[in-house]
């Protein structure tokens, strides 16, 4: 990156995404949890996918390991601990439904809610995307 681009990124009061003009972006990934900002992430991801004529995938990563409210502040994750397979699937379906309710165009968007035992969400996301 050039000096001007780096300066803009560092000093911008809003998120900045820099893409080389020649770059073709085939897929946008929006990573969401069940927080209040889910809708904002989905809307921004949808806008980017339309602008770049790219497919859109909304992914939510659920960590399948013992956790507490203090280690992961989520009503779903806290309730998730100690549940059986059927209850877990119900919770995941509820999450999928919540995501789909925030989509403008369901036909253009793939929704994935994945379970992982990886304790770091970023690593889990890379693991999930590498499976594709």
State how far the Cα of 111 lies from the Cα of 30, in Å rounded to an integer: 10
Instruction: For residue 70, give Cα distances in angstroms to 44, 78, 84, 120.
Output: 29, 9, 22, 16
Average pLDDT over residues 73-100: 74
Residue-wise pLDDT tens digits, 87-99: 878 878 888 898 9
The pLDDT of residue 69 is above 50: no
Residue-wise pLDDT tens digits, 13-51: 988 888 877 778 888 888 888 778 889 999 999 998 988
Predicted pLDDT of residue 76? 56
């Amino acid at each position: 990156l050039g000096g001007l681009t780096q300066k803009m990124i560092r000093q911008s009061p809003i998120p900045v995404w820099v893409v080389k003009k020649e770059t073709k972006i085939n897929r946008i990934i929006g990573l969401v949890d069940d927080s209040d900002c889910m809708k904002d992430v989905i809307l921004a991801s949808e806008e980017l996918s339309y602008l770049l004529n790219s497919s859109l995938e909304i992914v939510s990563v659920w960590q399948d390991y013992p956790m507490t409210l203090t280690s992961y502040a989520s009503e779903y994750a806290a309730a998730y601990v100690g549940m059986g397979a059927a209850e877990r699937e119900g919770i995941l379906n509820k999450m999928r439904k919540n995501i789909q309710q925030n989509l403008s165009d369901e036909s253009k968007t793939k929704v994935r809610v994945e379970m992982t035992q990886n304790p770091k969400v970023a690593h889990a996301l890379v693991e999930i995307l590498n499976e594709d």
